[in-house]
Chains A and B, each alone.
Chain A
Amino acid sequence: MQRPSPRLLLLLPTVTYRTVAFVEAARRLGVEVTVASERPSTFEQANPAGLVTLDFADPARAARQARAFARRHVLQGVVAVDDDTAVVAAAISEELGLRGNPVAAAAAARDKHQQRQRLAAAGVAVPRFELLTTAEDPERVARRASYPCVLKPLRLSASRGVVRADDAAGFVAAFQRLTAILEEPDVARCGDWARQILVEEFVPGREVAVEGLVTLGVLTVLAIFDKPDPLEGPFFEETIYVTPSRLAPTARQEVAACVQAAVGALGLREGPIHAEVRYNDRGAWLIELAARPIGGRCSAALRFTAGEGGTGNGEQQVSLEEIIIRHALGMSIPTIEREVQASGVMMIPVSGAGVLREVRGVGEARKVPLVEEVVITAHPGQALVPWPEGSRYPGFIFARGGTSEAVEAALRAAHAQLEFLTEPAD
């Protein structure tokens, strides 16, 4: 009797931007794929080996569902794409004995307070922090807070709900604004964490993002992105990522060491990580670390090349998703060397609230030298919501060139061509 082929379980929430990148990467690798989502595909009965519904809200239950599935279809690896599915993937890998992270480590990485506690206990440089509940009196807390500080939800992604306060009045306003976000139905039903607020010291300095791959607890840095737009608040919507970083080599080493220490403190063992680090005259500060790859469409800014020194001349090109899938399945990884060219992405900011009617200037933006692509992900009729309430970028701009400075300038020039026409929401 022929054994069924091993396959990859790909955990794709229905709201992810990552579907095409991961599904097509798996196809390029010739890997058999089962896509798991939290809501059923209408084709699930027609393709029971290729599609499955898992309870992403309950990782232990999802792991049992995956075990039942694996009795019929052998699974050799599991890959997550966001913070919540990272915990589900950990539970499944523990249940099935696959390569992955301990559940406790993935859960601690997802929860900003747990993460801070573990990192602080291990001596990793993190901002001073305090956990509050939304039931507390903000005016009372504001009197004893240190300023400037930052108020954060424990789990929301894309800096949704993150607000800086510079004084007591600002603290009360930020507390009330964040509480209102946590009381929105899509958040409030998520559990106790939606009634908690993390208050932490604002750490000044340059911020970078680190993309890495962890194997047996050891971090390999795949890329360090500069974030040239200063993230000073009051809100923390991201815009430009450019790699290679213009930090000095010693500073980059300190950043990498800080992230490695955080990986160890959290107990992460296997898979991709994405970290946000601030660097100032006191060194590297771990702001956040997630047990998942870079989000949105941003992974398209990363390209790895095998052979000929990454010159882009006819060598094999490997995407971040291919590296992650190969790692999960224990396949050899041909390269982790990023291409020689500088590369960057701009998450297009939301300039104002309204319902999107039309985007103008896309053609002109694409003509800007070094710009490779302008992707508008918002659709006509979609409500555009600015930060801190919002978390959806209306699109992405990609550029590549000889230097990080040139790439950054191209992204800004392309963005200047875009005009988002909106009408007031009802």
Chain B
Amino acid sequence: MSAADLRITAEPIDNGRCKFLVSEPIHAGGVRRFASPDEARGSPLPEAIFAIPGADVSEVIVSGNLVTVVKRSPAPWPVVGKAVGQAIRAALAGGQQAVVTKPAASGSATADDALYERVADLFESQVNPMVARHGGRVELIDVQDAVVMVRMGGGCQGCGMADVTLRQGIEAMLQQQVPEVKGIVDITDHTAGSNPYFAAAKK
């Protein structure tokens, strides 16, 4: 596929966060989260995104064909998004890996692995039985630097109350039962949800 054929769809969540859905995979080795330019060093795509002038990017998460960018700047996404799109195109055209594979376990990675086990237990024993009552499921994708990454499916994907489930349900439960967790990131493509439990209906 040439760079011209590459399709990138931006889905702003709010003024701080935006997901970019790319028509071809960027990183097949699970989820990579970069919370600083230092962490991105060696991976051309997040390096380029952190370097976007005026965006003040604070976080880049890459998983499969999804890139989630978090910024502190009030600059609107149409402006920053064009630069992110250019970075994605350039990284994929460059011929080298856009995102390098996760390095072998360091101290923090070991801690993340331990957290992953506890969060996975919580998801299996409590979270998923709860969302299953509405036909939903929540997949634990990864834990990086104590930030939990999830993907919602079934009745949760595209559900009008998915953000309530995420913030008031899952995040609150994590704060209580795994307080070492620093945050939760939803990397779901909610526009692809075909059977949401609650579909928005009013104007």
Contacts and interface: CB of A to CB of B under 8 A. Distances in A.
A158 interface: yes
B185 to A, nearest CB: 13
Interface in B156-181: 158, 160-165, 167-170, 172-173
Interface residues of B, number: 42
A393 B200 CA distance: 10
Interface residues of A, number: 54
Contact of A23 (B164, B170, B193): B164
Interface string A344-366: 00010000000000000011001
Interface stretch (A8-16, A123-131, A217-225): A8-16
Contacts of B161: 12, 14, 19, 37, 41
A317 interface: yes
Contacts of B78: 371-373, 400
A17 interface: yes
Interface string B129-141: 0110110000000
A143 interface: no
B97 interface: no
Contacts of A317: 15, 74
A167 interface: no
Nearest to A47: B172
Contacts, number: 133
A316 B168 CA distance: 27
Interface stretch (A107-115, A244-252, A330-338, A377-385): A377-385
A46 B199 CA distance: 24
Nearest to A315: B74
B76 A372 contact: yes
B186 to A, nearest CB: 10
Contacts of B130: 42-43, 46
Interface string B1-41: 00000010111111110000000000000000000000000
B74 A14 contact: no
A296 B168 contact: no
Given A21-B14, A23-B167, 6 more contacts: A19-B164, A41-B168, A43-B130, A46-B130, A46-B172, A379-B193
Interface of A: 12-17, 19-21, 23-24, 27-28, 33, 35, 37, 39, 41-43, 46-47, 50-51, 82, 157-158, 238, 295-296, 312, 314-317, 319, 347, 362-363, 366, 371-373, 375-377, 379-382, 391-393, 400
27 contacts: A14-B160, A15-B160, A15-B202, A17-B200, A17-B203, A19-B160, A20-B163, A24-B163, A35-B168, A39-B198, A41-B165, A42-B133, A42-B169, A43-B173, A46-B126, A50-B169, A51-B168, A158-B202, A158-B203, A295-B202, A312-B74, A314-B74, A316-B74, A317-B15, A317-B74, A372-B76, A375-B191
Interface of B: 7, 9-16, 74, 76-78, 126, 130-131, 133-134, 158, 160-165, 167-170, 172-173, 191, 193-196, 198-203
Identify the 8 closest CB pairs spanning chains A and B, nearest first.
A43-B169, A158-B203, A15-B201, A295-B203, A42-B130, A50-B168, A17-B200, A14-B198
